[in-house]
Amino acid sequence: MVPSFLSLSFSSLGLWASGLILVLGFLKLIRLLLRRQMLAKAMDNFPGPPTHWLFGNALEIQETGSLDKVVSWAHQFPYAHPLWFGQFIGFLNIYEPDYAKAVYSRGDPKAPDVYDFFLQWIGRGLLVLEGPKWLQHRKLLTPGFHYDVLKPYVAVFTESTRIMLDKWEEKAREGKSFDIFCDVGHMALNTLMKCTFGRGDTGLGHSRDSSYYLAVSDLTLLMQQHLVSFQYHNDFILWLTPHGRRFLRACQVAHDHTDQVIRERKAALQDEKVRKKIQNQRHLDFLDILLGARDEDDIKLSDADLRAEVDTFMFEGRDTTTSGISWFLYCMALYPEHQHCCREEVREILGDQDSFQWDDLGKMTYLTMCIKESFRLYPPVPQVYRQLSKPVTFVDGRSLPAVFDPLRFSTENASKRHPFAFMPFSAGPRNCIGQQFAMSEMKVVTAMCLLHFEFSLDPSRLPIKMPQLVLHSKNGFHLHLKPLGPGSGK
């Protein structure tokens, strides 16, 4: 009788479990259908491209040339149109400056459908925080990007760029085009490690730092793959896949490294001699600034907050800079007349100096215009997502030209333009806190590149735009580099 009773109990338990799963699944489906109905109703006034019955517009977004497809939709459906990733995730894609102003000037939070996946790595830092805690972190971090803090970083940018240029000297001797993207990515991450932790290539001999470098490289790649892989948008499926497990392993390596550096730095700061040495060094690391940050109530960042902000800085600063520099150098190869003008400008600014100084960056007028024009045509971050916390009313507007013309960004022309017509670092209260850091790095790196090399296209391997979280090229950035000789740059 006992075996029969146990069999009956397990059978009943199985039925209850199956029933519970069915009920939960049904409730989830109802929730998704209500969400779909809410989104469809909210965007009902905006016509858009036709959608697949299951995938929405996701398949077209994943295709080669999808950014050009989105631009064509902007002409077909002026001002704004819906985009669907599947049937339950939808966005209103906006193009017109007054539409952008209506959204980005309000400070609405980032869209969780896009950014929640990043939380596993970057935690709840400035990128995804909202409300009073976002405001607190913004105030605490802002001093870390003051001009006086950024000035010494020019030497760091220069040091990392020289390492990259030495590699390019060797590759250029072969007389063949090569893909610059990975080298630019290594340089950008090396720079960030020096600015954040105080060590970069000189510290990569340590296995811990080397593992961290590989983990961050892996995480940025995996997050790009996640965005364009429909099956990974379900967390239950994601964490069962090799992709998900690889992501979790890389997260653990990155977190362990950051936590250990924070512990070591906090312990070191207890020593008066070490504290004075840090205060007198040529530049403060980002971590030192965070550790010393206090709000008006003398409240400092917790260890979890510290890790989140460091990881956010590494995430936001690496891939975007790599994309921006790579597309800029492609533009210089594509438009040699502008490349020549930029080179002549930076040569004149450098003069007899061995390297660029902070004050030189403000003199790079034409180079800055070319950088901004490359941002306009090839935005490092093609989309900036927001989730509206209350309704918004739009007005009408116009579209964008496609010709490379840096003079759009002359002082005279820029003053006539709508402030929300060009926003490579987002806009409004939630704009990119590190934009001065990024632009300073861009100027130093691109100026040094143009001083040392002449860039030209490989017509057989032109880059194919691949918009993900950051604008990449599907086939890399293959350029011919011609060394300009020892007298060209110092």
Q: State the binding site for heme.
A: 432
Contacts of 427 (CB under 8 A, 6+ apart): 100, 101, 104, 105, 419, 420
Other CB atoms within 10 A of residue 480 CB: 17
- The tokens for 21 are 């799963």
Residues annotated within a binding site: 432
Contacts of 348 (CB under 8 A, 6+ apart): none
Task: Region of 476 please: left (phi>0), alpha (psi -120 to 50) or beta.
Answer: left
Name the residue with tokens 């194919």. Answer: 464
Contacts of 183 (CB under 8 A, 6+ apart): 164, 167, 168
Element (H, E) at 81: strand 80-85
Name the residue with tokens 């948008």. Answer: 233
Asked if 261 contacts 314 with a C-beta cutoff of 8 angstroms, the reply is no
CA distance 362 to 440: 9
CA distance 106 to 92: 16
Residues in the chain: 490
Read off the amino acid at residue 267.
A
Sequence-distant contacts of 28-36: CB under 8 A, at least 24 apart = 32/87, 32/88, 35/88, 36/87, 36/88, 36/90
Element (H, E) at 317: helix 303-334
What DSSP character marks residue 478?
E
For residue 188, give the 3-state DSSP assignment: helix
Asked if 141 contacts 305 with a C-beta cutoff of 8 angstroms, the reply is no
